Structure 1
Amino acid sequence: PRKRKPGKSGKPLVARITPPSYPKRFMVSFPPDTDGHEPDEFFYDTPAEAIQHCVRLGPQFFLDTQFDPPLVTIIRGFEQHPGEADEAGYDSIDGAMTESMPLDEFIICTELEIMRVSFVPWDKSTDNWADRPDEPDCGCGQYVDFRFTGKIPGL
C-alpha cells in the first residue's frame, strides 16, 4: 500500500482559529473636539489593558460596558506597597487603585465639578496625572481627593 501524505486525504485542511471574544468590554474614549464629531473610542478585553492605555495616552477613566447603566472606572493612582488600595478605600487592578460608579452619576459629578478627571497621561516624574502635578492631598473624601502617589507597574 502507498503511504499517504498528511493532509492529503481529499478533505480540505481547516485551521482551528480561536475567534476573539466580542464585543470587547472595556472602552476608553475622549470627548469629541467639536460638536458633530464622533469621539475616538478604543475597546479592550481586560481592565488592565484599558489602564495601560490610560496611563500612556489618557484619560484617567474608562467604561465597563457590561453593565446597564455602564460603570465608569476611575484610576486614582498606583500602589506603592501591597494593600495600599484597601487602606485608601479603593479597588486594585494590577497595582492601579480604582473606583467605579454608574455612568450617569459620573457625568453628573464631572459636569457639576464635584469631581475632576484628567484627560492626559500619567506623569511618572510627579506621580500624578500630567495636568495636576502640584495638587495637594486635600483629604476631602473619595470623590474629591485627587493627589495620588505610587509607581506605575511596568513603566
Structure 2
Amino acid sequence: MMKKYTFFALLFLTTYGLFAQVGIGTTSPTTDLDINGSIRVRDLGSGTLVSDANGNVTVGPKLFSLGKVASDGTAIKISGATVTRVDKGDYKITFATEMADANYIVMLNMIDCGGACDGNGSYDDPGIGYYGQTKNEFYVNIGDSDNGNSGKKDIDLEFMFMVYDF
C-alpha cells in the first residue's frame, strides 16, 4: 500500500512540476512566469531588450536621444539632448550625457515640403546630413543642391533625429 501512495505522490509532483506556472507578486499566474512588479536582472547591462524567433532575450542597441526640431531650431519634442540653431540650415545637437565615444549612429529625416521648401518653389530638392560628430554633440545641415549652376544653398526645415549606440 505504501508503494502505491509513493507512486501517486511522485506522479502528482512530477506532473505538477511539468505544467506549473510560477508567479512572483501574484497568487494566480497566467503564464509560465508571471511577474507583478518591477524586474531586475543583475548582469543584463544597459540597452533595449530584444527577442529572437526562439524567444531568447538579448540587449540590443540603445536609443540614446531623439528629437523633432522646428525650422527655427526650437525643440518640438526632444529627449536626451538639446538643440540650437547655429545659422541658416545648421543646427547643433548637444547630448545631456556624454557618449562613450564619437562612433554612435545618427539617423536623420526632414519634413517633405512638397517641392516648395521656401514657399515659392525655388528649393525643390533638399538634403540633410550631419557633421562635426564628437562625444558631446553633432551638427545637422539642411540645404538644397538642385539649383542649376549654383552651389548648395542652406535652408531651414523641420527635421527629426535619432541617436543609437551599442
Q: Which protein has the bigger strand share?
A: 2
Smaller-chain TM-score bracket:
under 0.3
User: Which protein shows a greater Rg?
Assistant: 2
- Identify which of structures 1 and 2 has the higher relative contact order when contacts are C-alpha pairs closer than 8 Å and 6+ apart: 2
TM-score, normalization: structure 2?
0.23
